[in-house]
């Protein structure tokens, strides 16, 4: 007799139903006691231990996070930025090696976890600034990666612009209003969004910078209004690619190895032993287990191993897009946006609807798109509307200021470095706006270790040359006034 897991579960379920029906005539307190002594206390114990474990992990991780020092770097882009989004892709590639694997002691004793970077584009009263928040220990390497691609960029450490709102509490707040939301992907992460190569015209090679629409929106943010966009990125390993391979195999119809759940793995050794003993008892010794009946079970088939030759153009495009995305390193990403303003100045269509529209530039109909997560959207319907909206406002503002990796809805989604460079890059000259902080022409100064005598001599030589040119020009002008035309003379330094 072979062990059948399905029959075992069904039998156990029927026994449980019969037991619950037999309790119908007892007092609720008696029922609770019977359940408790019959083993229900195990469930309560598991829940209690799990809650204590979560509280412990939260405590040690908060302690570790409080020990980290952060730097908020404002990046002023060059006025003539001739670099493409490919340069920013190289910057993200240089930042990815900050990934650090933690051992068990570091994780569960010291509460250490993988640190994240925060990419932010903010508009405060129409003034736009690109900001990167990095651990202070990583600052020099991040700056080097930026200067390698943008030698004329200026990077300066600034104060946190969001800190001044940390004491806002809704609904008690009477001066300011706030809208906020987290964003996610419409499809699973392996499906790519539209990236910067597709914004370049194939014939004219003209790059329609998607950052132009965002900067135009930011330039229209008025006084006493602010619009923030935050990409919280954490470097990750390649485990996320497994889902992509499953999607591809499903499209092409390739068979995957059967996956066993934990309870199947638990009972599999017993099932295998029961089957082996049964076969040995019936067929005797001297055969390979599992070989009996192989010939009768296999059926000849002329069907191809997969459907690669019969895919539609859309399916081929999806497979190519997923394959290209998985060919590059990636970050776990959480995307948040906040629009905050004085209540009398607040204009949600300008700050909310327009931002959602800007993010739709990166949508691909057959691929993926960035959409707001409605569970975090600062809006509620039907009942306890004001209280629920206030809770969402306080929650997203706190998570934004703390740059929380775990706060909010879910764990985010995966973007590779090409997708990140598409949604966060310094604009090309055609997309520049006067409200964007830019680097003006730099004045080159002599090296600080140059001796004064050399510098003074160079300056005297330059002054002497200027004086001679002025005298020569005055002599020419004098001859013109006297004779009506300049008299051609040999150069004064002609060898005799």
Query: What does residue 23 show for φ and ψ, rounded to 5 degrees?
Result: -90, 0
> Read out DSSP for 160-223?
-TTGGGTT--TTT--SEEEEEEEEEESS-TTS----GGGGB-TTT--B--THHHHHHHHHT--T
Count CA within 13 A, CB hemisphere, residue 223.
Answer: 0
Cβ-Cβ contacts under 8 Å for 398 (sequence gap 6 or more): 166, 404, 407
CA 203 to chain centre: 32
pLDDT attached to residue 490: 45
User: Which is nearest to 355 in space by CA: 231, 227, 233?
Assistant: 227
The pLDDT of residue 437 is above 60: no
CA separation for the pair 74, 85 (Å, rounded): 18
Contact 394, 322 (CB under 8 A): no
Supply the mean pLDDT for the chain.
79
Strand 438-439, strand 70-78: pairing: parallel
Q: Quickly state the pLDDT bin for 252 (edges 50, 70, 90).
A: confident
CA separation for the pair 385, 382 (Å, rounded): 7
Q: What is the pLDDT of residues 474-487, one digit of tens each?
A: 554 444 444 444 44
Q: Quickly state the pLDDT bin for 173 (edges 50, 70, 90).
A: confident
Contact 346, 174 (CB under 8 A): no
User: Which is nearest to 121 in space by CA: 77, 164, 167?
Assistant: 77
Q: E strand or H helix at 55, and its extent?
A: helix 41-66
Cα–Cα distances in angstroms (integers) from residue 257 to residues 63, 93, 301, in the given order:
43, 33, 20
pLDDT attached to residue 258: 54
pLDDT attached to residue 471: 57
The pLDDT of residue 158 is above 90: yes
Listed in sequence order, the DSSP H helices in 96-174 are: 104-108, 139-149
Q: Tell me what the mean pLDDT of segment 450-462 comes to.
A: 48
The pLDDT of residue 209 is above 60: yes
Q: Quickly state the pLDDT bin for 299 (edges 50, 70, 90).
A: very low
Q: What is the pLDDT of residues 406-433, one digit of tens each?
A: 888 888 999 999 999 999 998 877 555 5
Contact 167, 392 (CB under 8 A): no
Name the percent of the chain in helix, strand, coil, to the closest 5: 50, 15, 35
Q: Is the peptide bond before 171 cis (omega within 30 degrees of 0)?
A: yes
Query: What does residue 99 show for φ and ψ, rounded to 5 degrees?
Result: -60, 130
The pLDDT of residue 313 is above 90: no
CA 58 to chain centre: 23
Q: Which residue has the higher pLDDT, 163 or 435?
A: 163
pLDDT attached to residue 5: 64
Q: Which residue has the higher pLDDT, 470 or 414?
A: 414
Q: Quickly state the pLDDT bin for 77 (edges 50, 70, 90).
A: confident
Contact 209, 398 (CB under 8 A): no
This prediction's pTM: 0.72
Q: E strand or H helix at 225, and its extent?
A: strand 225-235
Q: What is the pLDDT of residues 119-145, one digit of tens each?
A: 999 999 989 999 999 999 999 999 999
pLDDT attached to residue 352: 84
Above pLDDT 70, what percent of the chain? 69
């Amino acid at each position: 007799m072979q062990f059948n897991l399905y029959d075992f579960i069904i039998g156990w379920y029927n026994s449980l139903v019969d037991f619950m029906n037999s309790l119908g005539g007892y007092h609720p307190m008696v029922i609770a006691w019977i359940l408790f002594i019959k083993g229900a206390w195990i469930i309560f114990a598991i829940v209690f231990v799990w809650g204590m474990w979560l509280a412990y992990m939260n405590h040690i991780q908060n302690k570790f996070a409080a020990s980290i020092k952060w730097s908020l770097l404002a990046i002023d882009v060059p006025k003539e930025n001739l670099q493409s989004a490919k340069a920013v892709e190289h910057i993200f590639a240089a930042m990815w090696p900050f990934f650090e694997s933690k051992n068990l002691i570091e994780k569960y004793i010291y509460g250490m976890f993988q640190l994240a970077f925060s990419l932010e584009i903010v508009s405060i009263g129409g003034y736009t600034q690109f900001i990167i928040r990095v651990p202070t220990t990583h600052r020099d390497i991040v700056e080097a990666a930026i200067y390698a691609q943008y030698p004329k960029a200026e990077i300066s450490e600034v104060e946190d612009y969001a800190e001044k709102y940390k004491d806002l509490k809704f609904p008690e707040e009477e001066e300011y209003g706030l809208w906020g939301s987290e964003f996610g992907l419409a499809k699973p992460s392996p499906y790519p969004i539209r990236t910067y190569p597709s914004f370049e015209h194939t014939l004219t090679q003209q790059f329609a910078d998607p950052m132009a629409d965002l900067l135009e929106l930011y330039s229209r943010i008025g006084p006493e209004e602010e619009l923030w966009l935050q990409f919280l990125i954490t470097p990750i390993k390649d485990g996320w690619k497994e889902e992509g391979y499953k999607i591809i195999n499903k499209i092409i119809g390739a068979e995957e190895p059967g996956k066993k759940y934990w309870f199947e793995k638990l009972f599999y050794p017993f099932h295998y032993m029961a089957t082996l003993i049964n076969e040995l008892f019936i067929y005797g010794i001297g055969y390979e287990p599992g070989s009996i009946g192989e010939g009768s079970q296999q059926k000849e088939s002329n069907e191809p191993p997969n459907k690669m030759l019969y895919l539609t153009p859309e399916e081929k495009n999806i497979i190519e897009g997923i394959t290209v995305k998985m060919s590059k390193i990636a970050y776990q990403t959480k995307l948040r946006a906040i629009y905050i303003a004085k209540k009398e100045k607040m204009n949600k269509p300008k700050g909310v609807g327009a931002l959602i529209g800007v993010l739709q530039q990166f949508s691909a109909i057959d691929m993926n798109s960035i959409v707001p997560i409605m569970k975090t959207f600062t809006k509620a319907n039907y009942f306890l509307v004001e209280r629920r909206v206030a809770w969402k406002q306080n929650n997203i503002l706190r998570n934004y200021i703390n740059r929380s990796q775990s706060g909010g809805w879910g764990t985010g989604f995966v973007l590779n470095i090409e997708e990140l460079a598409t949604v966060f890059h310094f604009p090309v000259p055609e997309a520049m706006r006067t409200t964007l902080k830019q680097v003006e022409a730099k004045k080159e100064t002599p090296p600080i270790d140059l001796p004064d005598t050399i510098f003074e001599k160079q300056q005297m030589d330059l002054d002497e040359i200027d004086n001679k040119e002025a005298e020569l020009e005055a002599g020419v002008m004098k001859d013109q006034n006297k004779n009506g035309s300049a008299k051609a003379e040999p150069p004064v330094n002609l060898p005799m």
